[in-house]
Amino acid sequence: MTIVLLSLIITSLAYLVVASPQPVELTARKAPRGHVAALRKRSLGPTNVPLADFFINTDLQWFGNISVGTPPQTISVVFDTGSFTLEFDSTECGAPCAGQVAFDPSKSSTFIQGNEVSELDFATGVGVDPVVDNDYVLTIRNGFDTVSVGGLTVKNQSLFTIINQTAPFDIDPFSGILGLSSITDPEFFFGGLIEEGLPALFGMLLTPKAVGHAELTLGGFDESKFIGPLTFAPLSAEADEQWALDSPGITVNGKTTPLLASNRSIIFDSGTSNIVFDQNTTEAMNALISPNIKPFPAEPGAFGIPCDKVSELKAEIDFAFIGEGSKVFHLNIPTSELNVGPFKSDPTICQTLINSFPDLELVGGSLLKHYYSVWDIGGQRMGFAPNGH
């Protein structure tokens, strides 16, 4: 599957409850309220879920395992703060999902199939390529089944099985997406944590593949994984049910422009690898890096530069955010993130970090993998500290 989900057509849903003291062995949308799955196993405390890294020229996705059904079937999912729902490949999908492990509903005695079929349209895709002509689309059917992560199990969990998907999903080494953006109604996704006496929050360590040991901590955060105190910031009033913070300005290589120095709300999306801004903001940032960064016509929304010029460039991008007590703090993307690899259609041109998409302002893994992040639903805030790698 994929990444960040910002555009959707959806029918019904309740959020997956996850927590466990056991690590998981390794191998997205708002919906009507109503169904909350029941906890069936007690958690002793926060759980660390190890994550694998999907890498092609750059770090693309971090994913780990859940289990679904009776008896349980192992399904790998991206833990995605840019989407809201749980969906994964079904054997009903057939050839379009042949590259991923598919859940077989006929082998689960607890699966209940729904009769609602809908489509999910994505604003960003599996990797760094922009979405072009709505080419990332999942066709899904609603259902219910037992779902587990580690040692905690929920029964009658609302979910969606993928019954068709477009070709760009073929490269995925994982089978689905678990949305972590239920930020305004913790009784859904994290209702189970609250019921267990754990805080409705999670921590993320999204490391580069060369470093490894990425993990998701549910019901708490891991103080051994970061340096110094966490800096917290309240969610933006304009978050619109996304993990977004207020930013008073962006600088590139120590410089800014009136446009970049304007106030904005920026989404944090663990399911997107690079960063995405509107055309004007993208061009303003690129202009402060190099005049040689140009739009790449074959992939509208992408930008590139001759690969032999990349090593000459400095591209330190600084985002200012409004923290608790109105104190400004900064998060940075280093120069090393600028080049995300050569374009397939022209290997002499290397794609650069920033994609453009109308009315979207978003930072993804290229920023998050340099920090430990805490996503606090109960406190309606986010926290950051250097992760030390």
| 269 included as an active-site residue | yes
Tokens of 216: 């998701």
Task: Report the alpha-carbon distance of residue 303 to residue 130 in Å, rounded.
Answer: 10
Strand, coil or helix: what is 106?
helix
DSSP state string for 239-300:
-TTS-EEEESEEEETTB--TTTTS-EEEEE-TT-SSEEE-HHHHHHHHHHH-TT-EE-TTST
Angle at CA 356, nearest 5°, toward 10 and 179? Answer: 30
Q: Which residues contact 89 (CB under 8 A, 6 or more apart)?
A: 1, 75, 97, 100, 101, 102, 103, 161, 162, 165, 175, 176
Q: Which of 53, 145, 269, 376 is catalytic?
A: 269
Tokens of 139: 């066709």
Among 80, 89, 172, 376, the one annotated catalytic: 80
The rounded distance, in Å, linking the Cα atoms of 301 and 165 is: 22
Q: Is the dihedral of CA 211, 215, 220, 224 positive or negative?
A: negative
Please give the angle made by the CA atoms of 368, 29 and 356, to the nearest 5 degrees: 50
Q: Which residues contact 127 (CB under 8 A, 6 or more apart)?
A: 56, 60, 171, 273
Residue for token digits 């069936």? 40
Distance CA 2, CA 219 (A): 24
Distance between CA 252 and CA 381 in Å, rounded? 26
Q: How far apart are CA 61 and CA 282, in angstroms?
A: 22
- Catalogue the active-site residues: 80, 269
